Structure 1
Amino acid sequence: MTVRVGYFPHNNSLFVLRHRGILERALPDVEWVDLRDLPPAEPMDVKTGLPSLHSDWLFTEGGYDVIGTGFTPPITALAKGRDVVYIGISGPRVENGRLVTLASSGIETAADLAGKRVGIAHGSWQTTLLLLALEKAGLTWADVEPVDTVVNDGAEALLRGDLDAWVGAYPGLEAIEKAHELRTLVDTESLFSHPSLWFTRRDFAENNREALEAVVTALQESDAWIEANPRAAAQYFVDDVAARGGHADLDRWERALRGRPFGVNPVDDAFLEEQQHAADLLAANGLLSQTIDVRAAVLPWILDVVEAARSSVRV
């Protein structure tokens, strides 16, 4: 059977795995689906809803069977009634990004964001980070003006004055850090663990256990290679940007990869508690149409699959 795997650069593990040929040894008929080539999600009012981003394509003909994203997309999928299940999570990515402003902005803390324009890649982990930051400051989603930006495009908008604050992510955040004085309003570590995560459809998991095991094992092997060869792994990202007509700095990508955790871990109670809190907060602020139980997306046997792969390929 053909197993379709969705990938894009923002999930570093799947992006490198796409280029390594490891999964093809176990699944000769694997088909890689570049998420950037799929039609975008329906536009969504950033004040009143969440775009589905990548979860809809798990349930669409011509989509994919397995996907890796950040923190928020599976919550969105569950709220839409999608029968998704978690595969696994990375370690904490607390150095991946943070909420910043220009030092000259006059904004001192997250509490000063009331009425301000804050740039996020809406529907991604950045939405959750901003909402958790607002909660900690005693504010709600309605108190700020969220602005949807592409993950690394908020920097120029911040410098132009089109944004008052921005959730920046590496390696894009590094360039503005070097050229301008920034103030960190909220880091990631004080809010949540911010792991990468992988998920699939329940029917795919239950009917294709061997294929799912192959994907998890290949991810573990590829992630071990990334940790041992971060500069060679960084080259894949630089080459991809160049192929699309842009330019990326190899040193910055290498530093970004060195600062990120690799390896697939079983979902655990701490992660599920974070997901549930975020889901409840999203619903309370009108960004989800219903409350959800994230534990409904756990299949216990998948935890065993991930743990077995961790034991066979240590990262």
Structure 2
Amino acid sequence: MMTKRNKVYRNLSLVMITLLSLTLLLAACGSNNGSSANEGGSTSTNSNASSDSKDSNDSKGASGTKEIHIGYQKYGTVNILKAKGTLDKRLEAEGYKITWTEFPGGPQLLEALNVGSIDIGHTGEAPPIFAQAAGAPLVYLAHEPASPNSEGILVPKGSPIKSIADLKGKKVALNKGSNVHYLLVKALEKAGVKYSDITTVFLPPGDARVAFENGTVDAWVIWDPFLAAAQTATGGTLLTDGKDLVSNIEYYLASRKFAEENGPVIEAFKEELDKIDKWAETNQKDVAALLSPQLGIDVPSLELAAARRGYGLAPIEDSIVEAQQKIAETFFDLKLIPKAIQVKDATLK
């Protein structure tokens, strides 16, 4: 018959065995979780896209596929390219997988390119200048034709502001460092209003739309399709578009390292963009219908935006570099960028 002391020893032994088993089980689970996270480490979030991008570009993963990260904004040829899937199919056949990441504007997109979260992207004229001044290792790949009618300065319906000169002392919303930043500068300059005579309110497009509608700001400088959508929905008054003020050119950019090490991918990207551009120019209603679900913008607004943009891919030539240099010098004179830059340093020539 078991004594009381033996029972105690037996119970203690069982407890120790149980605790040891649980410890081993938890250690095994932790090991498995760590292994799984490493094997499935590819994500589309900005927080860890930098390391994923570098790893995927330098070596193939377990599946033998190299990953490319492309940043895009709402609207433009890249959106159509993504929706049609032609670049995905072409590069998949060559052992590549594309991860697409949407950004609210060009400055945010180029911040991601600067830290390695994306490899390729597209912006207007101003963001690359701000990014280059901040030390981003970017290069220009190609560009779209000028589309001066695709951006403008909007005021609410019934606003007492009737001209650019009336903006003096007013609050003007815009996305800092974006293409419309230069439009605002040139519009004020033409009207004889100092940049310092207005109050700039820096907001991304979504927040700016809210501020515009609730009267927190007096005017909004914005690009399509946000401009077209606001015109359609609110009946706002367009004080001016970019005509006779700015060119409004869309640029395709990449990190220098990626561009120099992935020439065939860059060429494939440009070739597919050019094909999509040619299709989109003659199928604008189809483009609007294709992009409406993706962008969450109504078809009529997208048709309006499609009708006032340019189409057709073009190479980076000296005249383009000179035009960008002029913008860079204007921003430096206004102390909008911290140092003077040479745009030619951001080319592949």
Same fold? TM cut 0.5: yes
Tell me how far apart the structure 2 counterparts of residues 230 and 264 of structure 1 sit (CA, whole Å).
17
Tell me how far apart the structure 2 counterparts of residues 86 and 174 of structure 1 sit (CA, whole Å).
28
Equivalent in the alignment of 2:68: 4
Q: 1:15 aligns with which of 44, 66, 79?
A: 79
Tell me how far apart the structure 1 counterparts of residues 125 and 222 of structure 2 sit (CA, whole Å).
15
Tell me how far apart the structure 2 counterparts of residues 131 and 178 of structure 1 sit (CA, whole Å).
26
Equivalent in the alignment of 1:87: 141
User: Do structure 1's residue 26 and structure 2's residue 90 form an aligned pair?
Assistant: yes
Equivalent in the alignment of 1:125: 179
Tell me how far apart the structure 2 counterparts of residues 238 and 17 of structure 1 sit (CA, whole Å).
14
Deviation at residue 88 of structure 1 after TM alignment: 0.8
Please give the TM-score of this superposition, normalised by the length of structure 1.
Answer: 0.79
Tell me how far apart the structure 2 counterparts of residues 183 and 19 of structure 1 sit (CA, whole Å).
32
Q: Secondary structure at the match of 2:108?
A: coil
User: Do structure 1's residue 66 and structure 2's residue 135 form an aligned pair?
Assistant: no
Q: 1:35 aligns with which of 84, 88, 102?
A: 102
Task: Read off the aligned partner of 1:4 and give its amino acid letter.
Answer: I
User: Any conservation in 1 of the 2:81–2:272 contact (CA below 8 Å)?
Assistant: yes
Task: Read off the aligned partner of 2:74 and give its amino acid letter.
Answer: H
Tell me how far apart the structure 1 counterparts of residues 340 and 147 of structure 2 sit (CA, whole Å).
26
Deviation at residue 152 of structure 1 after TM alignment: 5.3
Q: Check 1:152–1:260 CA distance in 2 against 1; reply closer, same or farther (3 A cut).
A: farther
1:246-303 CA distances to partner (integer Å, 9 max, x unpaired)?
x531232123223222221112344333322221222222221111111211223xxx
Tell me how far apart the structure 2 counterparts of residues 143 and 112 of structure 1 sit (CA, whole Å).
11
Equivalent in the alignment of 1:311: none
Task: Read off the aligned partner of 2:71 and give its amino acid letter.
Answer: Y
Equivalent in the alignment of 1:281: 330
Tell me how far apart the structure 1 counterparts of residues 239 and 322 of structure 2 sit (CA, whole Å).
24
Deviation at residue 216 of structure 1 after TM alignment: 0.5
Task: Read off the aligned partner of 2:305 and give its amino acid letter.
Answer: A
User: Any conservation in 1 of the 2:72–2:109 contact (CA below 8 Å)?
Assistant: no
Deviation at residue 175 of structure 1 after TM alignment: 5.0
Equivalent in the alignment of 2:239: 185
User: Any conservation in 2 of the 1:71–1:125 contact (CA below 8 Å)?
Assistant: yes
1:126-159 CA distances to partner (integer Å, 9 max, x unpaired)?
1111122222233333221111233255445334
Bigger mean CA offset, 119-128 vs 158-167: 158-167
Deviation at residue 209 of structure 1 after TM alignment: 1.1
User: Any conservation in 1 of the 2:142–2:316 contact (CA below 8 Å)?
Assistant: yes
Task: Read off the aligned partner of 1:56 and give its amino acid letter.
Answer: E
Q: 2:284 aligns with which of 230, 242, 263?
A: 230
User: Any conservation in 2 of the 1:272–1:294 contact (CA below 8 Å)?
Assistant: yes
1:220-265 CA distances to partner (integer Å, 9 max, x unpaired)?
1122222233233223322124xxxxx5312321232232222211
User: Do structure 1's residue 298 and structure 2's residue 347 form an aligned pair?
Assistant: yes
Equivalent in the alignment of 1:312: none
Q: Secondary structure at the match of 2:248?
A: coil
| Greater helix share, structure number | 2
User: Any conservation in 2 of the 1:84–1:200 contact (CA below 8 Å)?
Assistant: yes
Aligned pairs for 1:144-159 within 5 A? 144-151=198-205, 153-159=207-213
Percent sequence identity is 29
Equivalent in the alignment of 2:217: 163
Tell me how far apart the structure 1 counterparts of residues 161 and 144 of structure 2 sit (CA, whole Å).
33
User: Do structure 1's residue 196 and structure 2's residue 257 form an aligned pair?
Assistant: no
Equivalent in the alignment of 1:309: none
Tell me how far apart the structure 1 counterparts of residues 212 and 326 of structure 2 sit (CA, whole Å).
29
Q: 1:139 aligns with which of 171, 193, 211?
A: 193
Task: Read off the aligned partner of 1:58 and give its amino acid letter.
Answer: L
Q: Secondary structure at the match of 2:149?
A: coil
User: Any conservation in 2 of the 1:11–1:196 contact (CA below 8 Å)?
Assistant: no
User: Any conservation in 2 of the 1:3–1:211 contact (CA below 8 Å)?
Assistant: no
Bigger mean CA offset, 136-145 vs 150-159: 150-159
Unaligned runs of 5+ in 1: 42-50, 242-246, 301-315
Tell me how far apart the structure 1 counterparts of residues 67 and 193 of structure 2 sit (CA, whole Å).
44
Equivalent in the alignment of 1:212: 266
Unaligned runs of 5+ in 2: 1-56, 58-65
User: Any conservation in 1 of the 2:83–2:291 contact (CA below 8 Å)?
Assistant: no
Deviation at residue 34 of structure 1 after TM alignment: 1.2
Q: How many residues align?
A: 282
Q: 1:252 aligns with which of 297, 301, 305?
A: 301
Bigger mean CA offset, 274-283 vs 84-93: 274-283
User: Any conservation in 2 of the 1:5–1:65 contact (CA below 8 Å)?
Assistant: yes
1:160-218 CA distances to partner (integer Å, 9 max, x unpaired)?
32221211433443455456665443320111110111011222222211111111111
Task: Read off the aligned partner of 1:258 and give its amino acid letter.
Answer: A
User: Any conservation in 2 of the 1:192–1:274 contact (CA below 8 Å)?
Assistant: no
Task: Read off the aligned partner of 1:163 and give its amino acid letter.
Answer: V
Q: Check 1:253–1:290 CA distance in 2 against 1; reply closer, same or farther (3 A cut).
A: same
Q: Check 1:252–1:52 CA distance in 2 against 1; reply closer, same or farther (3 A cut).
A: closer
